[in-house]
Amino acid sequence: MDLLDLVLLLVVVLYAASGYRRGLVAGCVSLAGFVGGAAVGVWVLPWVMDLVTRGSTAATVTAVVTVLVPAVAGHELAGRLALRLRSRLEGAGGGSVRAVDGIGGAAANAVAVLIVAWVAASVLGASSSPVVTTAIRDSKLLGAVQDAMPDTTPAWFSRATSALTAAGFPQVFNPFENEPAAGVAQPSGDSVTASATNAARLSTVKIEGSSGDQGREGSGFVFARQRVMTNAHVVAGIDAPYVQIGGVGHAYAARVVLFDPDRDVAVLYVPGLRAPVLRFDDTAGRGDAAVVAGYPQDGGLDLQAATVANRIRATGRNIYNDASVTREIYSIRSTVRP
């Protein structure tokens, strides 16, 4: 049992004791206050996240505080009402009712704490901190909660936390099953060489289009003659995508010729596109230097140093959040902005 499990176990015991004191009925009222406060935090989160750099450590801390502070406040306010309900229940039912209500309250509070911890861990699983991701993955308590969750929980959770995804915390894979990018060297800026920059400028593309009345954008790369590969979620719902080499210059009309929502991969046919082809490399090993290239947040070409961690089979959801899928991917340590 690691440090995170010990801390969680202590919190569970403390909340179980509090639940016994308050009782089941009053505990449910307090829990409703906690959930209501958390919902308020998630609602205001997108506006708060505009004040920090998304994907950074500061963004992680800000997101957690923004959700937890109103949740705790709601719990305490509802708790005051709950104590009044507890007093009335004791007066009406006597000692036996109080004992049953207390045991139920202890159990409910313990379960509630574990669920809240699981939700927080699911969000923080996207953190760039290897210390955080390793602690979450190695937690036996959180792993047990994950195993006990129904099969429909990941889809529900993804919909419920859509505000977190929009705020820069996309949850793609299961943080309790997959090996994080921990234990590898911090990326060095030396890997962003002149040749890497030139290759990205000539062979990556910015993809844009419209879905209804909303603009959409993303990144892709040339992998064959007049063929561009990108993520399926980038072009989902776009009727007439177009691409720009290096994010500038002529806009080439494109057509989706392959769309795989499970692997989150799409291929675009781009007539008239002339650009060097990037080759796939399946020999990358742990510790190898790499570069992440793209056009984050509808901006210009951005290159970030990266370090290869592992080649893994990662369990997650498809782009529609209606099925569980397993993908073979490279896990890397880097800063990747949506």
- Do 87 and 56 belong together in one domain? yes
- Do 150 and 196 belong together in one domain? no
pLDDT of residue 234: 92
Least confident residue range of 59-73, 185-199, 270-284: 59-73
In a domain, 327, yes or no: yes
Q: Please report, rounded to a whole number, the percentage of residues in the chain having pLDDT higher than 70.
A: 82
The CATH number of the domain where 300 resides is what?
2.40.10.10
In SS3 terms, 167-191 reads as CCCCCCECCCCCCCCCCCCCCCHHH
pLDDT of residue 207: 97
The Cα 271–Cα 266 span in angstroms is: 16
Average pLDDT over residues 198-203: 96
Return mean pLDDT, the chain: 82
Average pLDDT over residues 261-280: 96
- Do 143 and 255 belong together in one domain? no
Tell which wins on pLDDT, 174 or 305: 305
pLDDT tens track for 282-325: 889 999 999 999 998 888 999 999 999 888 888 777 888 778 88
The pTM of this model reads: 0.61
Residue type, 17: A
In a domain, 184, yes or no: no
Token duo for residue 276: 């060097």
Residue among 246, 337, 338, 330 at smallest CA distance from 290: 330
In a domain, 141, yes or no: yes
pLDDT of residue 123: 65
- Do 135 and 200 belong together in one domain? no
Average pLDDT over residues 162-167: 54
Token duo for residue 110: 């313990």
In a domain, 183, yes or no: no
- Do 232 and 322 belong together in one domain? yes
- Do 70 and 199 belong together in one domain? no
| Structural domain ending residue among the three candidates 167, 197, 232 | 167
In a domain, 126, yes or no: yes
| Number of structural domains in the chain | 2
Spatial contact of 74 and 39, defined as CB atoms under 8 Å apart: no
pLDDT of residue 93: 58
How many Cα neighbours within 13 Å face the side chain of 58?
7
278, pLDDT greater than 60: yes
94, pLDDT greater than 90: no
| Structural domain ending residue among the three candidates 167, 202, 236 | 167
Spatial contact of 85 and 29, defined as CB atoms under 8 Å apart: yes
Full domain range(s) for residue 195: 189-334
- Do 220 and 111 belong together in one domain? no
- Do 153 and 198 belong together in one domain? no
Average pLDDT over residues 43-60: 72
pLDDT tens track for 117-161: 887 777 666 555 667 767 777 788 888 887 787 765 655 555 555
pLDDT of residue 334: 86
pLDDT of residue 55: 56
The Cα 33–Cα 41 span in angstroms is: 12
241-to-214, 245, 257 alpha-carbon distances in Å: 13, 14, 12
Label the pairing between strands 255-260 and 289-294: unpaired
Average pLDDT over residues 17-32: 80
178, pLDDT greater than 80: no
Least confident residue range of 111-115, 234-238, 263-267: 111-115
Which of 12-21, 24-33, 48-57, 235-244 shows the highest mean pLDDT? 235-244
Least confident residue range of 137-141, 196-200, 248-252: 137-141
239, pLDDT greater than 70: yes
Token duo for residue 159: 């919909």
| Structural domain ending residue among the three candidates 167, 198, 214 | 167
Sign of the dihedral through C-alpha 229, 234, 240, 242:
negative
In a domain, 163, yes or no: yes
- Do 207 and 143 belong together in one domain? no
- Do 163 and 218 belong together in one domain? no
275, pLDDT greater than 90: yes
The Cα 96–Cα 103 span in angstroms is: 11
Spatial contact of 254 and 268, defined as CB atoms under 8 Å apart: yes
56, pLDDT greater than 70: no
- Do 204 and 141 belong together in one domain? no
Token duo for residue 76: 């305490």
- Do 27 and 139 belong together in one domain? yes
The Cα 206–Cα 203 span in angstroms is: 10
pLDDT of residue 181: 58
Query: Helix (H, G, I), strand (E, B), or coil: what is residue 205?
Result: strand
264, pLDDT greater than 90: yes
Name beta bridge partners: 214.
211
In a domain, 180, yes or no: no
96, pLDDT greater than 60: yes
In a domain, 124, yes or no: yes
Band of residue 65 on the pLDDT scale cut at 50, 70, 90:
confident
